[in-house]
Amino acid sequence: LSERVKSVAVVGRDAPLWLAAAAVQRALGATGLRVQAIELDTRVAQVDAYVAVPSLGSMHRLLGLDERLVLNVCHGVPMVGQRFSNWGKGGAPYLLAFDDEPPPGGDLPFTQYWAKGALEGLRVGLEDFSFGSACARLNNVPVPTPEPNASAASYGYHLDAAAYSELVKQLALRLGVDVASAGVRNIDVDGDVVTGIDLDDGRRVTADLYVDASGRETQLIGRLRRAEFESWSEWLPCDRMLATSAPRLPRLPAFSQISAFHGGWVGIFPLQNRTAVITVYSSEAVSDAEVVELAGVIARMPVSGEAVVSELKAGTQRTPWIGNCVAVGESAIAVDPIDALELHVTHGCISHLMSLFPATASEFPEAEAYNRSVCSFGSNLRDFQAAHYVLNGRFDDRFWDRLRDADMPPKLKRKVDMFGARAVVPLNDDESFHEQSWAALLLGCGVRPQGYDPRVDAIADEAHIEKVQQRMRDVAQTARRMPSVEQFLGLDQAAAAQVSG
Amino acid sequence: MQTVRDIVIVGGGTAGWMAAAVLAKCVGTAQHRITLIESEEIGTVGVGESTIPPIQQFNRILGIDEDEFVRATNATFKLGIEFVDWRKLGHSYFHNFGLLGADLGTGVPFIHYWLRWAQSGGDPDQLKFSSEAEAARLGKFGRVPPSPGRSEPNINYAFQFDASTYAAYLRRYSERRGVLRREGKVVNVRQNGQTGFIEAVDMADGSSVRGDFFIDCSGFRGLIIEQVFKAGFQDWSPWLPNDRAAAVPAERMAQPSPFTLARAREAGWQWRIPLQHRTGNGYVFCSSYISEDEAAAQLVDSLAGTALASPKLLRFKAGRRKASWVKNCLALGLASGFLEPLESTSIHLVQAALTKFLDYFPQREPDPIVITRFNEEMCFQYETIRDFIIAHYKVTEREDTEFWRYCKHMTIPDTLAEKLELFMSRGEVKPRWGDLFSEVSWFAILYGQGIVPEGHHPLADAMSEGDLEITLSRIRAAIKQRVAGLPSHADFIRSCCAAQPAPATTAA
What is the widest separation between alpha-carbon atoms in chain B? 79
Ordered mean pLDDT values, 10 residues apiece, chain B (508 residues): 90 95 93 94 69 94 94 96 98 95 89 95 93 96 73 81 92 97 96 96 96 96 96 97 96 95 98 95 97 97 92 95 97 95 95 94 87 94 97 98 98 96 94 89 97 94 93 92 94 92 44
Q: Which of A31, A415, A456 to mutate to test the interface with B (most CBs of B within 10 A)?
A: A31
Sorted by sequence, the CB contacts under 8 Å of residue A490 that are 6+ apart come out as none
In whole angstroms, what is the distance from residue A21 CA to residue A16 CA? 8
Amino acid found at A94: Y
Q: At what angle do helices A410-422 and A435-444 cross, to 10 degrees?
A: 80
Contact yes or no for B291/B320 (Cβ under 8 A): no
- Specify the length of chain B in residues: 508
Q: Pick the residue from chain A with its C-alpha nearest to B461.
A: A31
CB proximity list for A426: less than 8 A, separation 6 or greater? A414, A415, A418, B373
Q: What are phi and psi for residue A386, nearest 5 degrees?
A: -60, -30
Q: Is A79 helix (H, G, I), strand (E, B) or coil?
A: strand
Which of B78, B128, B356, B394 is catalytic? The answer is: B78
The SS3 assignment for A186 reads strand
Asked if the C-beta of B263 comes within 8 angstroms of chain A's C-beta atoms, the answer is no
* The total number of residues written for chain A in this structure: 501
CA atoms within 13 A of residue A405's CA, in its CB half-sphere = 8
pLDDT in tens, chain A (501 residues): 568 999 999 999 999 999 999 999 999 999 999 999 999 999 999 999 999 999 999 999 999 999 999 999 999 999 999 999 999 977 889 999 999 988 766 688 999 999 999 999 998 999 999 999 999 999 999 999 888 777 899 999 999 999 999 999 999 999 999 998 788 999 999 999 999 999 999 999 999 999 999 999 999 999 999 999 999 999 999 999 999 999 999 999 999 999 999 999 999 999 999 999 999 999 999 999 999 999 999 999 999 889 999 999 999 999 999 999 999 999 999 999 999 999 999 999 999 999 999 999 888 999 999 999 999 999 999 999 999 999 999 998 999 999 999 999 999 999 999 999 999 999 999 999 999 999 999 999 999 999 998 888 888 889 999 989 999 999 999 999 999 999 999 987 655 444 443
**Do A471 and A127 meet the contact criterion of CB atoms below 8 Å apart?**
no
CB contact under 8 A, A421 and B361: no
Q: Is B414 on the interface with A (CB under 8 A)?
A: no
Give the pLDDT of residue B503: 46
- Name every chain B residue with its beta carbon within 8 A of the beta carbon of A414: 369, 372-373
Q: From chain A, pick out residues whose CB is under 8 angstroms from the CB of B26.
A: 455
Integer angstrom CA distances of residue A203 from A33, A38, A299, A410:
20, 12, 48, 49
At residue B316, the 3 state secondary structure works out as coil
Minimal-distance CA residue of chain B relative to A352: B430
pLDDT for the residue B187:
95
In this structure, the number of other CB atoms found within 10 A of the CB of residue A188 comes to: 13
β-strands B260-265, B268-274 pairing: antiparallel
Tell me the whole-structure pTM to 2 decimals.
0.90
B49 contacts: CB under 8 Å, gap ≥ 6: B14, B160, B161, B162, B163, B166, B273, B280, B341, B344, B346, B347
Instruction: Spell out which residues of chain A touch residue B430, defining contact as CB-CB under 8 Å.
Output: 356, 369, 373
Determine which helix (DSSP H) or strand (DSSP E) holds A204, and give its type and residue range. Answer: strand A204-205
Is A368 in Cβ contact with B361 (below 8 Å)?
no
Contact in structure between A120 and A294 (CB atoms under 8 Å): no
* CB contacts, 8 Å: B457 with chain A: 357, 359
| Minimal-distance CA residue of chain B relative to A351 | B107
Please provide the DSSP assignment of A31-66 as one string.
GT-EEEEEEPPP---TT-EEEE-THHHHHHHHHT--
B-chain CB neighbours of A365 within 8 Å are 421-422, 424-426
Which of these, A42, A60, A266, lies nearest to A165 by C-alpha position?
A: A42
**Separation of CA A40 from chain center:** 23
In this prediction, residue B240 carries a pLDDT of 98
Give the nearest chain B residue to A31 (CA atoms): B462
User: What whole-number distance in Å separates Cα of residue A38 and Cα of residue A246?
Assistant: 34
Question: Which residue of chain A is at minimal alpha-carbon distance from B116?
Answer: A359
What is the ipTM score, two decimals? 0.82
CA A54, A152, A353: angle at the middle one, nearest 5?
Answer: 30
Q: What is the pLDDT of residue B150?
A: 59
Q: How far apart are CA A392 and CA A258, in angstroms?
A: 13
Q: Which residues of B touch A366 (CB under 8 A)?
A: 422, 425-426
Q: Do B454 and A33 count as a contact with CB atoms less than 8 A apart?
A: no
Residue B356 appears among annotated catalytic residues: no
Residues A250, A241 contacting (CB under 8 angstroms):
no
Distance CA B417, CA B232 (A): 27
**A75 touches A49 (CB < 8 A):** no
B chain contacts of residue A377, beta-carbon cutoff 8 Å = none
Return the C-alpha torsion angle A243, A246, A252, A254, nearest 10: -20
B421 close contact with A: CB closer than 8 A: yes
Inter-chain CB proximity B430 and A356 less than 8 Å: yes
A59-106 per-position pLDDT tens digit: 999 999 999 999 999 999 999 999 999 999 778 899 999 999 887 666
**CA distance to partner chain B, nearest, from residue A26 (Å):** 10
Classify B280 as helix, strand or coil: strand
Give the gap in angstroms from C-alpha B369 to the nearest C-alpha of chain A: 6
pLDDT at B432: 85
Q: Which of A368, A418, A452 sits opposite B370 (nearest CB)?
A: A418
Contact between B458 and A28 using a beta-carbon 8 Å cutoff: yes
CB contact under 8 A, A417 and B369: yes
The CA distance from B372 to A414, in Å, is 10
What is the per-residue pLDDT for B152? Answer: 58
How many beta-carbon contacts under 8 Å exist across A and B?
90
Q: Which of residues 446-505 of B touch A (CB under 8 A)?
A: 453-459, 461-462
Choose among B358, B361, B459: nearest Cβ to A27. Answer: B459
| CA distance, residue A321 to nearest chain B CA (Å) | 15
Residue in A31, A358, A424 closest to B461 by CB: A31
Inter-chain touch B425–A422, beta carbons under 8 Å: no
Phi-psi region of A424 (alpha: psi -120 to 50; beta: other; left: phi over 0): beta
Cα A166 to Cα A180: distance, rounded to the nearest angstrom:
16
Sheet with A77-79, strands from edge to edge, namely: A49-52, A156-160, A77-79
User: Using CA atoms, how far apart are residues B28 and B179, in angstroms rounded to an integer?
Assistant: 9
CA separation (Å) from A318 to A136, A334, A479, B414?
37, 12, 43, 19
Q: Check residue B327 and report its DSSP letter.
A: T
Residue B43, burial from CB neighbour count under 10 angstroms (0-12, 13-18, 19+): exposed
Other CB atoms closer than 10 Å to residue A224's CB: what's the count?
23
Give every CB contact of residue B480 below 8 A, 6+ residues apart in sequence: B134
By Cβ distance, the residue of B31, B422, B432 closest to A429 is: B432
B161 backbone φψ class: left, alpha, beta (φ>0; ψ -120 to 50): beta
Residues 6+ apart with CB under 8 A from B473: none
Q: What integer pLDDT is reported at residue B47 of this predicted model? A: 56
DSSP, res B507: T
For residue A430, the chain B residue with the least C-alpha distance is B433
Contact yes or no for A414 and B434 at CB 8 A: no
CA B129, CA B127: separation in Å to the nearest integer? 5
Closest chain A residue by Cα to residue B58: A105
**CB distance A408 to A386 below 8 Å:** yes
Q: Do A359 and B426 touch (CB under 8 A)?
A: yes
B363 at A interface, C-beta within 8 A: yes
